[in-house]
Amino acid sequence: MGGSGVVATELAMVLAAAGDEVHVISYAMPPRLELVDPRLSFHEVVVPHYPLFEYPPYSLALATKMVEVATYQKLDLLHVHYAVPNAVSAILARDIVGDGGFKVVTTLHGTDITLVGNDPNYLATTRYGIEQSDAVTTVSQSLRRDTVEKLGVTRPITVIPNFIDPKRYEAARQRPGARRWAQGDEVLLVHVSNYRPVKRVGDVVRIFERVARKMDTRLLLVGDGPERAHIEQYCREQGSCDRILFAGSTTSIEEVLVGADLFLLPSETESFGLAALEAMSCQVPVIATAVGGLPEVVEDGVTGFLRSVGDVDAMAEAALSLLENRDRWRQFGEAARRHALERFSEVAVVERYRELYRRVAPSA
């Protein structure tokens, strides 16, 4: 359900639809993967459990599956998403196959660098997987800088942002979308995440509370994760559960974004902010934090507002400045959709990946 899985899945389906033979390798079927194209296949990584091992050796099982698929399906290139263990497993698989085998492209998505890769227990391994790849991309300039600074990586890194399929969001605009959860004309705020502490979902609720003091408001929380129980307990104690709705996880993200008034993303850090881009594609202005790659996605004062981490008063004030001026809110929404389509449309971004593939594996 995370951004790296979503991007990998969407990319696989676009490539297959355009005529490429694509094989998806993962420990579980990605939620958004639709196996309706005969050129698209899924291969599950099965990890054997032996009493000898305290922890199942997933990275070795992954490398073995990569070797198997690459050998029998005659792969030209393996595009891995996330540095550890995927890139490292891919390098091992490439070495096992030997000369004349496939090339490895690694895309870094964020926490594989800022969290896992920066951990001393994984730093050397993460750096090795990146340096040994045939090409490396990041989803934002911010993440590229972090990779160089935190890991000391010296090899060239190409920035290719995440993308959206405009047709998917255009179709959703004809349906009620998020308004299914609203009552009457109340304002609808939406947040989508995996409820990890870095997402600061508590700040989402505090922003909502401040907006709700001024106007009839409802908050729709989409997703699931470790912090959800704490947020549910909080709203019970505050008596606000009748206005805070927990929708759970969904693969049809556009159905909970179209028709919303504002999207809230007060994260501690974001390497890109795919959820913000998806909201903008649905013509929903974004209130977020000025961290990581978010300033590369959200234009402050044009498609939404960016404020400091933890400053819920400033974010609530920014939200109200739009909600209390519907003409301005409409202008921001239109600008958000236009920005998403012009800079992050599927056709343009996927072509950048194709160019990279052709450069790395020209004989493919």
Instruction: Name the residue ranges covered by the structural domains of the chain.
Output: 3-163+346-360, 166-340
Instruction: Check residue 71 and give its pLDDT.
Output: 95
The string over 246-284, giving b where at least 16 C-beta atoms fall within 10 Å of a residue's C-beta and e elsewhere, is bbeeeeebbbbbbbbbbbbbbbebbbbbbbbbbbbbbbb
Rounded to 5 degrees, φ, ψ at 249 are: -85, 150
**Long-range contacts formed by 167-173: CB under 8 A, 24+ apart:** 168/254, 169/254, 169/258, 169/278, 169/281, 169/282, 172/254, 172/255, 172/257, 172/258, 172/282, 173/258, 173/282, 173/283
What residue spans of the chain are helical by DSSP H? Answer: 3-17, 58-73, 88-97, 111-114, 123-131, 141-151, 166-172, 201-212, 228-238, 274-281, 294-297, 312-323, 326-344, 346-360
Return d(Cα 135, Cα 297) in angstroms, integer. Answer: 24
Output the pTM of the full model.
0.91
CB atoms within 10 A of CB 51: 5
Is residue 193 within 8 Å of 157, Cβ to Cβ?
Answer: no
CB atoms within 10 A of CB 227: 19
CB atoms within 10 A of CB 35: 12
Instruction: Check residue 310 and give its pLDDT.
Output: 97
Calculate the CA dihedral of residues 228, 31, 23, 129 and round it to 10 degrees: -10
Q: What angle do CA 104, 56, 225 make, to 5 degrees?
A: 85
DSSP state letters, 8-46: HHHHHHHHHHTT--EEEEESS--TT----STTEEEEE--
Maximum alpha-carbon separation in the chain:
66
Instruction: Check residue 263 and give its pLDDT.
Output: 98
Which two tokens mark 190? 């939406």
Q: Matching CATH topology for 3-163+346-360 and 166-340? A: yes
Instruction: Check residue 116 and give its pLDDT.
Output: 63
Amino acid at 282: C
Per-10-residue mean pLDDT, the chain, length 364: 84 95 95 92 92 87 97 96 92 92 93 68 88 96 92 93 88 83 92 93 96 96 93 89 89 90 96 94 97 97 98 98 97 97 93 96 80
Return d(Cα 5, Cα 194) in angstroms, integer. Answer: 13
Is residue 363 within 8 Å of 100, Cβ to Cβ?
Answer: no
Instruction: Check residue 128 and give its pLDDT.
Output: 92
Q: Does domain 3-163+346-360 have CATH number 3.90.190.20?
A: no
Return d(Cα 34, Cα 45) in angstroms, integer. Answer: 18
Q: What angle do CA 204, 208, 210 make, to 5 degrees?
A: 120
Residues 6+ apart with CB under 8 A from 102: 70, 75, 76, 77, 78, 94, 361
Return d(Cα 352, Cα 210) in angstroms, integer. Answer: 43
Instruction: Check residue 160 and give its pLDDT.
Output: 97
Return d(Cα 311, Cα 98) in angstroms, integer. Answer: 53
Instruction: Check residue 204 and give its pLDDT.
Output: 97
Return d(Cα 174, Cα 128) in angstroms, integer. Answer: 48
Q: Does domain 166-340 have CATH number 3.40.50.2000?
A: yes
Tokens 């979308």 sit on residue: 177
- 339, 333, 267: which is closest to 115 by C-alpha? 267
